Structure 1
Amino acid sequence: RCDNRLPEIDENGRFLARECFNINPGAFHLTLVNQIGRAKRAFVMDSVSSAEVWNYPVVGYSFKYFNPETLEEVEKMENGIIPFEDFTKDKFRKYRSKKVAKILGVQADITFLKDRIATFKDVETDKHNQPGLVIYRYDLELDKEGKVIGGEWYHGHHPDFLWVTQAGTKAKGPYDDEIKGTWNPEKELVPKSWADVAIKSSLYGEVAAPIVEALFKLSHKGVDGINPNQKD
């Protein structure tokens, strides 16, 4: 990842330091298609290539395509693919893979979940929980078989790095270790020791993860302890 607040760039705006180039557009594109499109699993990205880290869960995407030579948007992906030798305006030619045969222009519209501070509102509107949108433009290097082998970002604004959690990983609040004993939310109210931790967490804009997890489980059963999707 790039820790430099003012990384050096070349005449085309491309970062010169290897660590500041960050994730390659080809790897980013394939992650979107395979992780979200096929596996239906979100991942987390640091959304900007700067010294600051802004981690957001990516939950969706859509693609638009353009001709990299003319920059004109096209209706179909195949219409945006041009032979590499026809890409006469390529600013990044000296960085290209030796195996590149074709180039495709891509605009990725990325949907991500925004961070929210815990509130005491009884009801939050859909507007309060609207997802965020960020747009990245890049090209993809394709080999003679049409496989993605690399690419170049068209702007300095692009992801820094991506990461995923292991299956079964649970979120944890900063004061969860102070929770003692057990709680059966179907039979009793929140124990005082748990409530104290929840109150302490809320003072710092945090939540008590075990309580949230218990509430999620209850919500799946409905307010009366009955699964709302269950048929008689």
Structure 2
Amino acid sequence: MAQGTHPLGLIIAVLCLCEGIAACKKVSPVGGTRGEGIGAARSELFADSRREINSSSNFFFAVWDDTFTARLGELPASGGAPEERIPYSGHWYPEVNGGTNVFGAVTKYDRAFNGGRPLAANWESANHSLRRTDPGANWAGHCNGFSAASSRHKEPARAVVRNGIVFEAHDIKALLAEVYMSAKYYFLGGNRCEQDRVRRPGERSDPTTMNECDDVNPGTFHVAIANWIGRKGYPVVTDMTVTSQVWNYPAYKYSAQVQRITRQTALQYLGVGGGNYVFNPAAEQFAFVNMTLNYAKALPSEPQGNVAPTREEGTKHLQYVLELNGSDEVIGGEWIGQSQTDHPDFIWLALEAMQGSGTKYFGNPNIDVNAIVSMWAESVGLDPSNPPPGLREPAWIKDWGKFPTFEVVLDDNQTGAVFMGREVNLAFKRRGPLRGEVELEVSVNGSQALNLKPTGNDDVSMRIRPVPGANRIDVVWRKGGLSFEERSLRFHAMN
């Protein structure tokens, strides 16, 4: 299970080249979370690989209240978004053509919402426009904004009127692509490749380690696609190329032929000799996968007026070997054949759009996100005063275990997810010293697990054994027999 290195503080480059010419801007780390799956950084190598899917599993559980699985036998071989969730195709609004104002949508917005002052149009011209001689001029655009909006919203279908100005469907699509340049996102796996050549597995100095141009690890990729698209019918955004040119598209359907194979056959697929599988010593079983992934293409231009649906389907054919442990869990993989040099680079989920902050890497700060989402809702026949929120970042997940006066650490992390089948460490860390007699009472799943009187700066830890699925921790701090702080939180235990 060779894996890539993904420092959490890295600025994630969410860029794209759509149909060979389109691309996007970098996404600030303010807007997203790296929830790496199996293909995450391998600093402790094989013994810790299962733990690396904690973040993705916890996010999945927080959204769906369902278990994220890596067991191959539980992963559907095919699946897709329902008709109402299939992403639409849209223009990528290249910066050499004026960005999202190429057909005048931003100017219309200024007339309707900014009193005719060209606040949004001038900002777009200054920040989302390039000359044809500028570096990156042949690819810079709003492809990630289009992909994020398309993966979350039904295609605008009817014109709407705001303050006497008519916004047709193509105007609303442009404005959605603009505001979703500031989308929050959840990174499921992979990394930004800055090179034009990908090494084959046999060329690595350390066969167990992928670099940023070898990933996304196919184990991470397969598990993410099968859980999100296969089990939940929810589109994901995928950078379809592995080189320095990056193409972002919303993927929504897949079909895979999965065949169990021997270790020797896995080595033959990888084009290396010898009887030892050196790429992941923890692998006990193997499977060959031939997948077709379907996605919504970007358009070279935007059809004018109220034309819907607009769907042009693209396909990506992928082949890889999956590495499994003795419990049939996917713990990694390797690309094979042409997919060794032609495979997705990274995969992410688009969440709600944020208001632009003024940086050129975000959406236009002079365009109100809520106003655009309201127009979209009316355009598709929904209540413009109460549009559906869509998939949003769960409020509790980013601050799991963090309270004003203390923190909870579970199995040495704060992801809110652990692997069951063993005892794990539950620790409580005070943010300041304790004064006087303070009593700590901890209950796990309704049963009291701890009752003691900590002092000073001492941290408190204990061993617990989770049950499958949802677990609950209740914490009560008392002084003089009276409760002065009570907290509850849940976590997810995976097989």
Alignment TM-score, normalising by the size of structure 1? 0.63
User: Could you say if the C-alpha distance between residues 160 and 10 of structure 1 is closer, same or farther in structure 2, counting changes exceeding 3 Å?
Assistant: closer
Number of positions where the alignment pairs a residue of Structure 1 with one of Structure 2: 176
- Root mean square deviation, CA, Å: 3.3
User: Could you say if the C-alpha distance between residues 20 and 88 of structure 1 is closer, same or farther in structure 2, counting changes exceeding 3 Å?
Assistant: closer
Instruction: Give the distance between the partners of 2:240 and 2:205, measured in 1 at CA.
Output: 16
Counterpart residue type for residue 271 of structure 2: K
1:54 aligns with 2:239: no
Q: Structure 2 residue aligned with 1:2, among 193, 215, 218?
A: 193
Any conservation in 1 of the 2:290–2:320 contact (CA below 8 Å)? yes
Deviations 1:189-212 (A, max 9, x none): xxxxxxxxxxxxxxxxxxx99457
Per the alignment, in what secondary structure is the counterpart of residue 250 of structure 2? strand
Q: Structure 1 residue aligned with 2:228, among 35, 39, 51?
A: 35
Instruction: Give the distance between the partners of 1:139 and 1:113, measured in 2 at CA.
Output: 26
1:177 aligns with 2:366: yes
Shift of 1:38: 2.4
User: Could you say if the C-alpha distance between residues 144 and 62 of structure 1 is closer, same or farther in structure 2, counting changes exceeding 3 Å?
Assistant: same
Q: Max radius of gyration: which structure? A: 2
- 1:13-28 paired onto structure 2 within 5 Å: 18-28=211-221
Q: Structure 2 residue aligned with 1:147, among 319, 329, 351?
A: 329
User: Could you say if the C-alpha distance between residues 53 and 96 of structure 1 is closer, same or farther in structure 2, counting changes exceeding 3 Å?
Assistant: same
User: Could you say if the C-alpha distance between residues 11 and 220 of structure 1 is closer, same or farther in structure 2, counting changes exceeding 3 Å?
Assistant: closer
Instruction: Give the distance between the partners of 1:109 and 1:138, measured in 2 at CA.
Output: 12
Q: Give identity over the alignment, percent.
A: 26
User: Could you say if the C-alpha distance between residues 27 and 218 of structure 1 is closer, same or farther in structure 2, counting changes exceeding 3 Å?
Assistant: same
Q: Structure 2 residue aligned with 1:91, among 271, 277, 301?
A: 271
Instruction: Give the distance between the partners of 2:277 and 2:355, measured in 1 at CA.
Output: 44
Per the alignment, in what secondary structure is the counterpart of residue 28 of structure 1? helix
**What 5-or-longer segments of structure 2 have no aligned partner?**
1-191, 357-361, 384-495
User: Could you say if the C-alpha distance between residues 30 and 171 of structure 1 is closer, same or farther in structure 2, counting changes exceeding 3 Å?
Assistant: farther
Instruction: Give the distance between the partners of 1:143 and 1:41, measured in 2 at CA.
Output: 27
What is the match of residue 115 of structure 1?
298
Per the alignment, in what secondary structure is the counterpart of residue 298 of structure 2? coil
Whose strand fraction is larger, Structure 1's or Structure 2's? 2
Instruction: Give the distance between the partners of 2:283 and 2:376, measured in 1 at CA.
Output: 52
Any conservation in 2 of the 1:176–1:209 contact (CA below 8 Å)? no
Per the alignment, in what secondary structure is the counterpart of residue 221 of structure 2? helix
1:163 aligns with 2:351: no
What is the match of residue 216 of structure 1?
377
Counterpart residue type for residue 159 of structure 1: P
Shift of 1:121: 4.5
Deviations 1:82-131 (A, max 9, x none): 3325656253565421121221111111111112332314546x6x5222
Shift of 1:11: 7.9
Deviations 1:114-160 (A, max 9, x none): 12332314546x6x522211111111111122111111101211011
Any conservation in 1 of the 2:266–2:321 contact (CA below 8 Å)? no
**What 5-or-longer segments of structure 1 have no aligned partner?**
66-79, 180-207, 223-232
